[in-house]
Amino acid sequence: MALDILAMAPLYQAPAITRIGPKTDPSKRPADPLKPLVPSRTKLTTIEAKRIMSILDEAINKVELVTLLSHVASNREDVEGVLGEDIMRAVREHEDLCQVLLENVRCLKEKERQLQEQEEAEEEGWLRDRLLSIELQKSSLSPLTQQIKDSTKNVLRLLLSNPQAARLLQMQTQSRSAEAQNFIDSLIELRGFLFEKLVTSPMEARDKAQFIQDINRQNSNNQQIIDTLENELAERMKNRNAEELEDLEAVHREEKIALEELKRRHKVLVEEFVQIREEREINSKKRMEAEQEMVRMVRAATLIQAFWKGYLVRSLLRSKKKRGKGKAKGKEKGKQKGKEKDKGKK
């Protein structure tokens, strides 16, 4: 089934740097704290179980090889000397078939797209011919698909007959696509589940089912308790929030009253400040006017003093000049009287 799916996958896939993890080894798994879920046996004991695991391991091995064919096709020169001529010839034939299938699928999708676009515009006869052509092309895909399956099986047969080439090809894990790697990882995970199922005895299976049932019941009870506690917590939080809300409203009212008081005080302070500033401006203006008046008075006093000193000096000079003239006239009068006296004596 897995090989049929992979045989239909596109041969050319973008390389993805991924690596295949090791297959799950139940004997090396860490101890599980849930002991009732861990099987007591670690190895397969029946031939049927071993055959089942062998078939699954073989399928995983083949899938690992098939998902690397795209790497072989895109790197022929690098792997041709390793894989051999027969394997490379089979890979080339497989590649050609995949290319034909991809081209047919592409053409079929293009025709279906054109049919959807022109379904209402064209005539009924044209639509019938186009539908017939699409059905014929679809029917041709089945034989081609079978050829690809056969070519895939042929390539696998050649690879498995050459173990060394298969091992060298499996080492190219970094060239596997991400989608193919995910598919392989899923198969490995399935192998682990199947192995655990095969090593579990019927009694262990019953104990496991009972343990899971008890766990589910306990989980249900715990969930009910959690839901009850969550509801109580939500109710208490709701009541508490209604009370974190009443307290806040009371604090808000108090702060609002305090704010109004602060606003009133601020208004009074602003008015007082404006009044003080106006008084200071008036006092400053009066002081400046007084200083200017004082400057004018000092200047006037200085001028008066200077004028007075000048007047005194001029008065003193005039008085000195008058006294000098009076003495001179007295002398002249004395001389005149002396002359007159002298004349009288004569």
Residue 340 pLDDT exceeds 70 = no
- pLDDT score, position 7: 43
Whole-number Å distance between alpha carbons of 76 and 156: 17
What pLDDT, in 10s, does the model give residues 243-287? 768 888 888 888 888 888 888 888 888 888 888 888 888 988 988
- pLDDT score, position 105: 84
- pLDDT score, position 20: 32
Q: Which of the residue ranges 16-30, 199-213, 222-236 has the most confident prediction, judged by mean pLDDT? A: 222-236
The count of other CB atoms within 10 Å of the CB of residue 3 is 16
- pLDDT score, position 329: 62
Residue 9 pLDDT exceeds 50 = no
17: helix, coil or strand? coil
- pLDDT score, position 246: 82
Q: Per-residue confidence at 13, pLDDT binned at 50, 70, 90?
A: very low
Q: What is the pTM of this model?
A: 0.46
Q: Which of the residue ranges 87-96, 113-122, 133-142, 328-337 has the most confident prediction, judged by mean pLDDT? A: 87-96
Place of tokens 């959690």: 226
Choice between 28 and 217, residue whose per-residue pLDDT is larger: 217
Query: What's the mean pLDDT when you consider all of the chain?
Result: 77
From 19-28, 174-183, 264-273, 301-310, the region with the lowest mean pLDDT: 19-28
From 148-157, 204-213, 281-290, 294-303, the region with the lowest mean pLDDT: 204-213
What pLDDT, in 10s, does the model give residues 47-77? 888 898 889 888 888 888 888 887 777 777 7
Three state DSSP letters for the chain: CHHHHHHCCCCCCCCCCCCCCCCCCHHHCCCCCCHHHCCCCCCCCCHHHHHHHHHHHHHHHHHHHHCCHHHHHHCHHHHHHHHCHHHHHHHHHHHHHHHHHHHHHHHHHHHHHHHHHCCCCCCHHHHHHHHHHHHHHHHHHHHHHHHHHHHHHHHHHHHHCCHHHHHHHHCCHHHCCHHHHHHHHHHHHHHHHHHHHHHCCHHHHHHHHHHHHHHHHHHHHHHHHHHHHHHHHHHHHHHHHHHHHHHHHHHHHHHHHHHHHHHHHHHHHHHHHHHHHHHHHHHHHHHHHHHHHHHHHHHHHHHHHHHHHHHHHHHHHHHHHHHHHHHHHHHHHHHHHHHHHHHHHC
Q: Per-residue confidence at 22, pLDDT binned at 50, 70, 90?
A: very low
What pLDDT, in 10s, does the model give residues 303-325? 999 888 888 888 888 888 877 76
What pLDDT, in 10s, does the model give residues 88-103? 888 888 888 888 888 8
- pLDDT score, position 346: 47
Place of tokens 């047969």: 157
Residues 314-338: what's their mean pLDDT? 70
